[in-house]
Structure 1
Amino acid sequence: MMKNRKTVFEIISEWSLKSPDKTAVEFNGDRLNYQQLESQSCRLADYLLSYYPDNKRGRIAVYLEPGVMMPVVLLAILKAGHTYVPLSHFHPSERIMQILDDSSTFLLISTRAMLNKTAIDKVFPSTLVVEDIHYPASPVTTLPPVCENDLAYILYTSGSTGKPKGVAIEHRNLSYYLNWFNEDVWPETRATLPLTSTLSFAAAVTQLYAPLLRGDTLFILPADSLNEPEVLLRWHQQHPDGAIYCVPTVWDELLRYQASSSHAWALPKTVFLSGEPVSFDLKERTFQQIPDVRLFNLYGPTETTANCSFAELRPGKNVTLGKALRGSEIMIVDESLRPVAEGEEGEICAFGEGVARGYINRDELTQQRFFTHVRADKRSWGHRTGDLGKMTPEGEILYLGRIDRQIKINGIRIEPEEVEIVLRQHGDIDKALVRPIQENGRQRLVAYLVSRNPSLATNDLRRFLQDKLPRAMHPSHFIMLETLPKLPNGKLDVSRLPEPCPQRPELGYPVKTAGNELEQELIDIWQEVLGFRELGANDNFFDLGGDSLQAMKARLLIRKRLFSEIDYPLFFNNATPHLLAFIVPYYVNDDEPAFNENNADIEALSPSSQQRYFLTLDQISPEPSAYQLAFRLTIKGPLDESAVEWSIRRILEGNPVLRTRFDLDRLQCLEGDYPIEAIPIERLTAFSPDGGKNTLSDRRLLELISTPETDVEHSPLICFHLISLTTQRHILLGRVHHTVFDHDAIGLFFHQFVDYVRAYSAGDRSYRIGSEERYLRYRQQQRCTKDQCYLRERQFWLDKMEDYLAAGADATAFPLSDSLDGDNYWCILSDSLTQAIKHYAQQHRTTPFVCMLTAFTQLLKTTNYRHVPIGIPVSNRMLTENATTIGCFVNMVAYYDDAPTQESFSTLLARSQNKIHAILDNQTLPYDVLMADVRAKGWSDKLRFPVSFNYLTAMPPAVQINETAYQITDIANHQARLDLTLSVYDDEALALCFNYQQAAFNAEEIAALSHQYHQILLDVVQPNTALLCSNL
Structure 2
Amino acid sequence: METSIAARFETIAQRYPERLAVKDQERSLTYDQVKQAANRIARALLRRRGEGNEAIGILCEHGIDGIIAILGILKAGKFYIAIDPSSPVDQIQAALIDAGARLILSNKQNFRLAQDVGGSGCEVLDIQASDDGLTPLSGILRSISSDHLATVLYTSGSTGKPKRISRTQRDVLQFASLGALERGIHLEDRLSLLHHCGLGAASTHLFQSLLTGASLFPFDVKFQGIENLARYLVAENITVCSLAPSLFRQLGELLSQGDLRTSLRLITLVGAPVTRLDFEFYKKCFGPDTLLEILFGSTEAGGISSARIDRKFSFPEYGFPAGYACRGKKIVLVDESGRAVGPGVVGEIAVTGPTVYRGYWRPPGRSLEKCVGDPAQTNDRLCLTGDLGMMRSDGFLIYLGRKDDQVKIRGCRVEPGAVEAALFLHPLVKEAAVVACEGNDGEKFVAAYIVPRSDALPVDELRGFLSQKLPDYMIPPVFVFLGSLPLRNGKLDRTALPLPGSGRPALSQAYVPAQSAVEQKLIGIWQEVLAMRPIGIHDNFFDLGGHSLAASRVITRVIEAFQLELPVKALFDSPTVAEMA
Superposition TM-score tier, normalisation by shorter sequence: 0.5 to 0.7
Which of the residues 156, 179, 202 maps onto 2:177? 179
For residue 348 of structure 2, what is the aligned residue in structure 1?
A: 347
What letter corresponds to residue 390 of structure 2 in structure 1? Answer: K
2:324–2:395 contact (8 Å) kept in structure 1: yes
Aligned-residue RMSD, C-alpha: 3.8
The equivalences for 1:837-916 within 5 A come to none
Q: Give how far 1:113 is off.
A: 1.1
Q: Establish whether residue 383 from structure 1 lines up as the match of residue 383 from structure 2.
A: yes
Which of the residues 13, 21, 24 maps onto 1:24? 21
Distance 2:9 2:170 in 1: 15
SS of residue matched to 1:81: coil
Distance 1:253 1:344 in 2: 34
> Structure 1 residues 19 and 291 mapped into 2: Cα distance closer, same or farther (>3 Å)?
closer
For residue 549 of structure 2, what is the aligned residue in structure 1?
A: none
Q: Give how far 1:86 is off.
A: 1.8
Question: What do the CA deviations read for 1:146-203 (whole angstroms, capped 9, x no partner)?
Answer: 2222221111226699643211112222111111121121259974211121112222
Question: What do the CA deviations read for 1:44-103 (whole angstroms, capped 9, x no partner)?
Answer: 2222122113x7211122222233332221112112222211211342112222222222
2:358–2:368 contact (8 Å) kept in structure 1: no
Which of the residues 449, 459, 470 maps onto 1:438? 449
Distance 1:235 1:367 in 2: 37
> Radius of gyration: which is bigger?
1
> Structure 1 residues 193 and 278 mapped into 2: Cα distance closer, same or farther (>3 Å)?
same
For residue 246 of structure 2, what is the aligned residue in structure 1?
A: 249
> Structure 1 residues 324 and 180 mapped into 2: Cα distance closer, same or farther (>3 Å)?
same
Distance 2:189 2:136 in 1: 39
1:236–1:266 contact (8 Å) kept in structure 2: yes
> Structure 1 residues 351 and 296 mapped into 2: Cα distance closer, same or farther (>3 Å)?
same
Q: Establish whether residue 477 from structure 1 lines up as the match of residue 477 from structure 2.
A: no
1:62–1:87 contact (8 Å) kept in structure 2: yes
Q: Give how far 1:223 is off.
A: 5.1
Distance 1:118 1:146 in 2: 28
1:198–1:223 contact (8 Å) kept in structure 2: no
> Structure 1 residues 216 and 405 mapped into 2: Cα distance closer, same or farther (>3 Å)?
same
For residue 559 of structure 1, what is the aligned residue in structure 2?
A: none
Which of the residues 182, 192, 210 maps onto 1:212? 210
For residue 643 of structure 1, what is the aligned residue in structure 2?
A: none
Distance 1:441 1:201 in 2: 30
Q: Give how far 1:362 is off.
A: 3.1
SS of residue matched to 1:69: helix
Q: Give how far 1:401 is off.
A: 1.0
Q: Give how far 1:301 is off.
A: 0.5
SS of residue matched to 2:331: strand
Q: Establish whether residue 291 from structure 1 lines up as the match of residue 287 from structure 2.
A: yes
Question: What do the CA deviations read for 1:287-317 (whole angstroms, capped 9, x no partner)?
Answer: 1222312100011000123x12110124351
User: Could you tell me the percent identity over the aligned residues?
Assistant: 24
Distance 1:20 1:437 in 2: 53
SS of residue matched to 2:193: coil
Distance 1:90 1:436 in 2: 32
Distance 2:365 2:530 in 1: 35
SS of residue matched to 1:193: strand
What letter corresponds to residue 280 of structure 2 in structure 1? Answer: E
1:65–1:223 contact (8 Å) kept in structure 2: no
What letter corresponds to residue 200 of structure 1 in structure 2? Answer: G
SS of residue matched to 1:308: strand
1:66–1:223 contact (8 Å) kept in structure 2: no
Distance 1:337 1:347 in 2: 9
For residue 35 of structure 1, what is the aligned residue in structure 2?
A: 32
Distance 2:217 2:323 in 1: 29
1:283–1:313 contact (8 Å) kept in structure 2: no
Q: Unmatched 5+ residue regions in structure 1?
A: 418-432, 443-464, 482-494, 500-1032
The equivalences for 1:735-746 within 5 A come to none
The equivalences for 1:770-849 within 5 A come to none
2:60–2:66 contact (8 Å) kept in structure 1: yes
2:41–2:127 contact (8 Å) kept in structure 1: no
For residue 82 of structure 1, what is the aligned residue in structure 2?
A: 78
What letter corresponds to residue 59 of structure 1 in structure 2? Answer: A
SS of residue matched to 2:279: helix
Q: Give how far 1:404 is off.
A: 0.9
For residue 47 of structure 1, what is the aligned residue in structure 2?
A: 44
Q: Give how far 1:125 is off.
A: 4.8
> Structure 1 residues 336 and 477 mapped into 2: Cα distance closer, same or farther (>3 Å)?
same
SS of residue matched to 2:182: helix
For residue 392 of structure 2, what is the aligned residue in structure 1?
A: 392
Question: What do the CA deviations read for 1:134-155 (whole angstroms, capped 9, x no partner)?
Answer: 4135214521622222221111
Normalising by structure 2, we get a TM-score of 0.66
2:340–2:375 contact (8 Å) kept in structure 1: no
For residue 69 of structure 1, what is the aligned residue in structure 2?
A: 65
2:18–2:32 contact (8 Å) kept in structure 1: yes
For residue 321 of structure 1, what is the aligned residue in structure 2?
A: 322
Distance 1:161 1:76 in 2: 33
2:447–2:500 contact (8 Å) kept in structure 1: no
Distance 1:274 1:162 in 2: 19
> Structure 1 residues 479 and 317 mapped into 2: Cα distance closer, same or farther (>3 Å)?
closer
What letter corresponds to residue 477 of structure 1 in structure 2? Answer: P
> Structure 1 residues 368 and 280 mapped into 2: Cα distance closer, same or farther (>3 Å)?
closer
> Structure 1 residues 158 and 102 mapped into 2: Cα distance closer, same or farther (>3 Å)?
farther
Distance 1:8 1:34 in 2: 15
> Structure 1 residues 193 and 58 mapped into 2: Cα distance closer, same or farther (>3 Å)?
same
Q: Give how far 1:116 is off.
A: 4.2
2:328–2:355 contact (8 Å) kept in structure 1: no
Distance 1:471 1:129 in 2: 35
The equivalences for 1:577-592 within 5 A come to none
Question: What do the CA deviations read for 1:490-513 (whole angstroms, capped 9, x no partner)?
Answer: xxxxx97879xxxxxxxxxxxxxx
Distance 1:436 1:48 in 2: 52
What letter corresponds to residue 100 of structure 2 in structure 1? Answer: S
SS of residue matched to 1:358: coil
For residue 196 of structure 1, what is the aligned residue in structure 2?
A: 194
Question: What do the CA deviations read for 1:907-964 (whole angstroms, capped 9, x no partner)?
Answer: xxxxxxxxxxxxxxxxxxxxxxxxxxxxxxxxxxxxxxxxxxxxxxxxxxxxxxxxxx
Q: Give how far 1:23 is off.
A: 2.4
The equivalences for 1:473-622 within 5 A come to 475-477=496-498
What letter corresponds to residue 12 of structure 1 in structure 2? Answer: F
What letter corresponds to residue 9 of structure 2 in structure 1? Answer: I
1:308–1:354 contact (8 Å) kept in structure 2: no
Normalising by structure 1, we get a TM-score of 0.39
Distance 1:497 1:250 in 2: 37
> Structure 1 residues 282 and 222 mapped into 2: Cα distance closer, same or farther (>3 Å)?
closer
2:44–2:131 contact (8 Å) kept in structure 1: yes
Q: Unmatched 5+ residue regions in structure 2?
A: 407-415, 421-432, 437-443, 454-485, 503-528, 534-581
What letter corresponds to residue 252 of structure 1 in structure 2? Answer: R
Which of the residues 240, 262, 275 maps onto 2:237? 240
1:374–1:380 contact (8 Å) kept in structure 2: no
The equivalences for 1:126-137 within 5 A come to 126-131=122-127, 133-137=129-133
Which of the residues 278, 296, 301 maps onto 1:304? 301
Distance 2:257 2:123 in 1: 46
Q: Give how far 1:336 is off.
A: 3.2
1:85–1:153 contact (8 Å) kept in structure 2: yes
Distance 1:299 1:157 in 2: 14
Q: Give how far 1:283 is off.
A: 0.3
Distance 1:213 1:496 in 2: 59
For residue 277 of structure 1, what is the aligned residue in structure 2?
A: 273
Question: What do the CA deviations read for 1:522-579 (whole angstroms, capped 9, x no partner)?
Answer: xxxxxxxxxxxxxxxxxxxxxxxxxxxxxxxxxxxxxxxxxxxxxxxxxxxxxxxxxx
Distance 1:248 1:103 in 2: 31
1:12–1:213 contact (8 Å) kept in structure 2: yes
What letter corresponds to residue 109 of structure 1 in structure 2? Answer: L
1:178–1:209 contact (8 Å) kept in structure 2: yes
1:295–1:313 contact (8 Å) kept in structure 2: yes
